[in-house]
Structure formats: structure tokens, C-alpha cells
Amino acid sequence: MPACAQGARRVQQADESCVIATVIDGDTFHCRGGARVRLIGIDAPERSQGGAYQASREALGRIAGPGDTVRLERDVAPRDRFGRELAWAWRDSTLVSEAMVAQGYALLFTVPPNVKYVERIAGAQRRARAAGAGLWATNGFGCAPSDRRRRRC
């Protein structure tokens, strides 16, 4: 059984490969074999955020989309409260979470203890915001995804 398919049923600290089957939104995808992966370090617009959600989802598809192979790097906590696998995804030498933030389609979202690349992503967010990249150009982060989930906006 491929490592990605096994990963949905076990905790593994070693890196493993995953062929992306479906991009769900700007921070979640499914691997072939069924594993649901939530990218560590970022938060992307929710479905209820319309155009911002669609733009973020499409951006993830360009960076690491269906058919692409990514390397999943684990941090401390292996799963979130929804049972999704938590991982830093790498497509070749690109840290996918960092690229999503650098292009302006996701925000830094820190959930300790998974903080390995937080400084890299924080720098990418400062630069993206200053440059008006992606959703920063259209006020797409006027309501942060975490605030939207809490119905604050």
C-alpha cells in the first residue's frame, strides 16, 4: 500500500510522498489513497467567503494541484481535531504553505506545537501584504478565515 494511503490510518514521523487527488480549499487537499491533509502554518478563506475562497483554492492548485507529488513533512502534532493529517508539504524545493502566503492567498496561522517554519511564513506574509499580493490587493483578508469561522464578520 502506498505511504500516502497508509498515512490516513497511522501516525508516521518520517516524511512520505503523496500524489494530490483533489484540492479542497487553500489549505487542505486529499491524497490518492484517501488521506486528508491540512497544511500546517496557514489559514485560507472559507467556502462562505466566495471569490476569496475560489482564488485561494485555485492558487493551491497551481502551486501543488491534482496529479502533483508532494513530500509531507510532519511536525509535532500529527492530526487536527477533525482527523486530518497535519503536514508541511513540499513540491520540489517549494514549501507550499510559504508559497501560498507569499502569493497572498493564505494567512499565517500558528497552532503550537507545530511551529517549525513559522518565521519563514511570517516573513512571507509581511512581504505579500506590503506588496499587495493576491487577496491583499482586493481586501480579500478583510475578514480573516479564523474570524469567519467564529462568525465575527
Pairing of strands 85-91, 28-31: unpaired
Q: What is the mean pLDDT of residues 112-125?
A: 97
Q: What is the pTM of this model?
A: 0.88
Q: What is the pLDDT of residues 21-66, one digit of tens each?
A: 999 999 999 999 999 999 999 999 989 888 999 999 999 999 999 9
Q: What's residue 68's pLDDT?
A: 98
Q: Which of 47-56, 93-102, 118-127 has the lowest mean pLDDT?
A: 47-56
Q: Is residue 147, in this structure, part of any structural domain at all?
A: no
* Count: domains in the chain: 1
Q: According to the model, what pLDDT value does residue 15 have?
A: 83
Q: Residue 64: which of 86, 36, 90, 43 has the closest Cα?
A: 90
CATH number for the domain that contains residue 26:
2.40.50.90
At 31 the three-state DSSP class reads strand
* Structural domain boundaries, residue 131: 3-142
For residue 89, being part of any structural domain is answered with: yes
51 C-beta neighbours (distance < 10 Å), count: 11
* Structural domain includes residue 150: no
The whole-number pLDDT of residue 105 equals 98
